[in-house]
Amino acid sequence: MAARPIATLTVSFGLVSIPVKLYSATEASRAISFNLLHKACGSRLKQQYVCMKEDVIVPREDMVKGYEFEKDQYVQFTPEELKLLEEAGTHTADIAEFVPIESIDPVYFDKAYYLAPDKGGAKPYALLSKALRESKRCALGRWAARGKQYIVMIRPSSHDGQDGLVMQQLLYAGEVRSIKELEIPDTEVKDAELKLAQQLIEQQASDKFDPSTYTDEVRARVEAAVQKKVEGQEITMAEEPEGGAEVIDLMEALRASLDKRKAPALAKAADSERKAPRRAQQAEAAPKKAARK
């Protein structure tokens, strides 16, 4: 089934305007979710809000939103006041600058959208896509929607062999914690350790990321368990693995990892060497067999 756009907008840079259609790039609906049920009868539960002071259920029409400015101290806002504070949707993503793609740490990445050209936008869309790809840059700008203002990055994409543009929402600086908050001690790395680590990386290196090689095993287990439950079967619980990895010498761990990766390759090479004489004999015998016929 063809994808359906969730919105239309205009990407603007300089005096160039590109009408585009917006598509969600991910499918949150595919996530497995569970409902809360009454254990006794299996019926769905209804959420209710209880006043902590009076211990009574509060209906929705008696609720207001409040901001806690001190412990248990709130200022209230009416729906009308909150509406006035919202950002008006402009249906435009205004590009402010172009930066190298590698200069943006993926930790800032939030929700992603695909962009496709709308009516009359094919030519400028293709131009922006190719220009970004060849310059190895992405566009940064702002986009207002759903009452909020977002930083967006527009970058070229070749997902599934199809060239196009992705609009990636970015987090604001205040929404990303600094890694300086962590306690990471300065530690010396020996040349021999670094060399072994690099060899291990090279052994497991791939030219590109192929997401199809990774599957959600937890989702598969949940789906299988759900099906068993539907069919009236019981689920057997597997024993939990022992916790805690064994602490061993770093150099020994690196060497063991390399040997583990080398073993299948050596076995495959040895198997090929064993089969080579047999294939040569078969090739040599083939003309003689044909001549006898």
Which residues are CB-contacts of 11 (< 8 A; sequence separation ≥ 6)? 17, 18, 20, 92, 93, 95, 115, 128, 139, 141, 154
140 pLDDT above the threshold of 90:
yes
What is the Cα–Cα distance from 185 to 171, expressed in whole angstroms? 28
Report which of residues 215 and 50 the model is more confident about: 50
Q: Is residue 48 part of a domain?
A: no
Task: Please name the amino acid found at residue 232.
Answer: G
Q: Is residue 264 part of a domain?
A: yes
277 pLDDT above the threshold of 90:
no
What is the Cα–Cα distance from 89 to 268, expressed in whole angstroms? 60
Which residues are CB-contacts of 204 (< 8 A; sequence separation ≥ 6)? 261
What is the Cα–Cα distance from 21 to 121, expressed in whole angstroms? 10
What is the Cα–Cα distance from 9 to 2, expressed in whole angstroms? 20
Residue 260 and residue 267 in contact, taking contact as beta carbons nearer than 8 Å: no
Residues 165 and 264 in one domain: no
How buried is 42 (Cβ within 10 angstroms: 0-12 exposed, 13-18 middle, 19+ buried)?
exposed
pTM: 0.71
Residues 120 and 155 in one domain: yes
Residues 151 and 196 in one domain: no
Residue 98 and residue 139 in contact, taking contact as beta carbons nearer than 8 Å: yes
Q: How many domains does the chain have?
A: 2
pLDDT in tens, 27-76: 766 778 899 999 999 999 999 999 999 999 999 999 999 999 999 899 99
Q: Is residue 2 part of a domain?
A: no
Residue 10 and residue 105 in contact, taking contact as beta carbons nearer than 8 Å: no
Residues 127 and 196 in one domain: no
pLDDT in tens, 174-201: 999 999 999 999 999 999 989 999 998 8
Q: Domain range spanning residue 12?
A: 7-26+86-173
CA distances (Å), origin 113, targets 10, 16, 20, 278: 14, 21, 11, 56
